[in-house]
Structure formats: C-alpha cells, structure tokens
Amino acid sequence: MSEIADLFDLTGKWALVTGARGGLGQAMARALAMAGADIVGLGSTPMPETGQLIEASGRRFLGVQADLSQPNDFRALVAQMEELAGPIDILVNNAGIIRRADVLDYTEADWDVVTNVNEKNLFFLSQAVARGMVSRRFGRIINIASLLSFQGGIRVPAYTASKHAVAGLTKLMANELAASGVTVNAIAPGYMETDNTAALRADPDRQRQILERIPMGRWGVPDDLATAVLFLATPRASYVTGAIIPVDGGWLAR
C-alpha cells in the first residue's frame, strides 16, 4: 500500500452508517468500505443494494432495521450490532428527514418526527456507541449537519432547528470525549441531488435561484462527500475535533 493510501486505511474497522439505503449515506458507506472498513447499515427499511455494493468491494455488511423516528433502546441495539459484527469504531450519523410548510402552518407532528430523527436519536445513538469507544480509547463520530446549521432557510423550521442542534451537539460531544481518544466532527453538505431536495429541483424557480447562488454552478452529488468522510474517519485525523466542514460548492462563501 502506498504512503498516501495508508493515510486513509480503515482495514479492521467497523463503521456504522445510519440512513445508508441510498443517497449520501450509501455513498459514504461505499467510500469507507473502499478504504477497508466493514459496514453496519442502520435504517428503517432493508438496504439490499447497499449490502451488495459493500460486499462487491470485498468488505462485510450487516443490515440492521430500526425506526429512528421512534424511541429506541440504543444501548441494547448497539450491543446487538457489536455482537454480530464487532466493536463500532466509526459512527456516521447520516439519517435525516425534512418536512416543509410555512411557519404559520407547521404542525407539531411534523416538528416531532423531524427533531426525533435529526436531533434526539442522533444524540442517544451517539451516546450508546461512544460508551464503547471511550472504553477502547478510540472512536470517530461524524455527524451530517447542513447549510441550515448556519442559515435559517425557509419553510423548514424543524429541520433548521435540528441542524443547528447537530452543530452544537458536535461541539459539545467533541469537548467531552476528546480526552478519551474520540473525535466528533460534522460535514455540512450543500444542495445535493438526493430525495430531500427533489421538491426543490422540481421547482424551476427554486432550481434557478439555488444554482445562481452556488459558485460552482451545480448541485452536489453524493460522491462529493467521500473525501470528507474519509478524512474525518481516519485514525490519522486524531487532532481534528469539533469541526464542521462544509461541502457546498462555495455556497457559504458567497
């Protein structure tokens, strides 16, 4: 293995990726597997395509079903995963949902389901995984934040609140876990071609407005996150914690 490849070598590591059925989660799971990690995919539905892609790269894949919009016994769930796979070295909190409505019309039901997935259960899954990481004195937690961790947006109050929370929790967990060899960082994707942005891309006016604001002039694609997740996951990134890395085509610089 070349010296450069060795910097990103994850051989022998298990990575847990939530929301890995498609889109950003699937792309990050593939990138981690190509660097040598075995993958646990956690989601509310089976993800056979992701499993096939991971196994085609020569790595092991374990699919686990859990509804992250509902309460879960995460300590028991993590214990089950680690019994079937191995110790979780890398956690990528990618699962997230969005519900759109004007401020005056937004419902409590939509608020609860969005914040449960994007904020509450992100924290409690991280807590459960971090217990083992702390005992082994190694771990990488990578949260998926958003441009709306920095901005307000429109018609997405719960999403904006939850992604601001992800930014704050990233910093808080980084502070508390650093002494135990566990880093906690976040990636803030820009406007990406995923299911969450399908409504925006289908609206000609919003599509035009967004592309005019992005210096690179295009929507991001899931593979654009590969180098960021590998950088934050590598054992060599031991002095990087509490960071939020935008991958946004220059949106925030505009």
Can you tell me which residue has the tokens 């890995």?
20
Catalytic residue among 106, 159, 191, 239: 159
Could you tell me the domains of the chain? 3-248 (3.40.50.720)
Asked if the model's pLDDT at residue 234 lies above 60, the reply is yes
Structure tokens at 8: 């990103």
CA distances 235 to 139, 147, 218, Å, are: 8, 27, 32
Residue-wise pLDDT for 116-134, tens only, equals: 999 999 999 999 999 999 9
Average pLDDT of the segment spanning 56-82: 97
d(CA 173, CA 184): 6
Asked if the model's pLDDT at residue 101 lies above 80, the reply is yes
Asked if the model's pLDDT at residue 5 lies above 80, the reply is no
Give me the torsion for CA of 99, 103, 108, 114, rounded to 10°. 30
- Show the beta-strand stretches assigned E in the chain: 14-18, 38-43, 61-65, 88-93, 139-144, 182-189, 244-247
State the pTM of this model: 0.96
| pLDDT score for 2 | 62
Average pLDDT of the segment spanning 209-228: 96
Using pLDDT thresholds of 50, 70 and 90, give the confidence band for residue 13: very high
Structure tokens at 89: 């070295």
Average pLDDT of the segment spanning 121-150: 98
Active site residue 159: yes
| pLDDT score for 95 | 97
Residue-wise pLDDT for 42-66, tens only, equals: 999 999 999 999 999 999 999 999 9
Q: Give backbone dihedrals phi and psi of 171, rounded to 5 degrees, phi first.
A: -70, -40
